Structure 1
Amino acid sequence: MDTETDGVRVWLVERTYSDDEQNLVILVYATPDGTQYFRKERALTSSTDVRTTTAAVTAAPSNLGTVDDTALQERYATEATRMAEEHDPTDPI
C-alpha cells in the first residue's frame, strides 16, 4: 500500500453512472492489493460541467472501506496495479 503523510494513494478501478440518480457518476478507487476502496460520487450539474478525473487520489484512511469479496478484491487489485503501471497519479482519465 502506498501510504503518504496525509493518506493512502488509491487508483481508479471503476466508473459507473447511477441508475437511481440522474447525472451522478460514481468513481471507485482502490488500493493496489484490492483490499480497500474509496468511493467518490460526482453530480454533473450541466452538459458543460467538466471535471477532471485523475488516475489516483489520496484518501484519508478513515474514508476507506474494506473489500470483503475475494473476486472483487482480485478485480480491484488487477485494475489498480494496471493503472499504477500505466499512469502517473495526476493523469486525467
Structure 2
Amino acid sequence: MNAESEPEIEGESEPAGRVRVWLVERTYSDDEQNIIILVYATPDGERYYRKERALVSFSDRRETTAAVDVDPDSLGRVDEEETRERYAAEARRTRERYDPDDAV
C-alpha cells in the first residue's frame, strides 16, 4: 500500500481494528440462481473482500450496502494491476456517491 492511499483508509469511521471497503462489483453466481457475489475493495484497490449471499428476490437490496467494515485478516490482495486500478476507481466512485450504510 502506498503512503498516498493510507489516509483514504485510515481516519474513516470504521470500528477500531477494522477496514472499510467499498462496493466495486456485483455478479450473480453461475452455479446458484439466487446467489449474488459482492466484491468490496479498499480505495487504493489493493485489497478486496468477497461476500456471497442469497437473494430473496432480484430487487432485494436489504443487505447490499455501499461499504462494509471488515477484519483485515478477511481481506485478499489484488495482484493484477489492471484489477487494482479498476477496483480503486470504483471504490472511490462509490465512496463519493454514497454514505457507507446506503443500500445500493
In structure 1, distance between residues paired with 2:58 and 2:37: 18
Aligned: 1:20 with 2:49 = no
Deviations 1:31-52 (A, max 9, x none): 00000000000012x4499423
Aligned: 1:65 with 2:80 = no
Q: CA RMSD in A?
A: 1.8
What is the TM-score normalised by the length of structure 1?
A: 0.90
- Any idea what SS the aligned residue of 1:16 has? strand
- Any idea what SS the aligned residue of 2:64 has? coil
Return the offset for 1:20.
Answer: 1.4
Return the offset for 1:21.
Answer: 1.7
What is the TM-score normalised by the length of structure 2?
A: 0.81
Return the offset for 1:72.
Answer: 0.3
Deviations 1:2-41 (A, max 9, x none): 2440310000000000001221100000000000000000
Aligned: 1:11 with 2:22 = yes
Matching residue of 2:3 = none
Tell me which protein shows more strand as a share of its residues: 1
What number of residue pairs does the alignment pair up? 92
Q: 2:50 is matched by which residue type in structure 1?
A: R
Q: 1:22 is matched by which residue type in structure 2?
A: Q
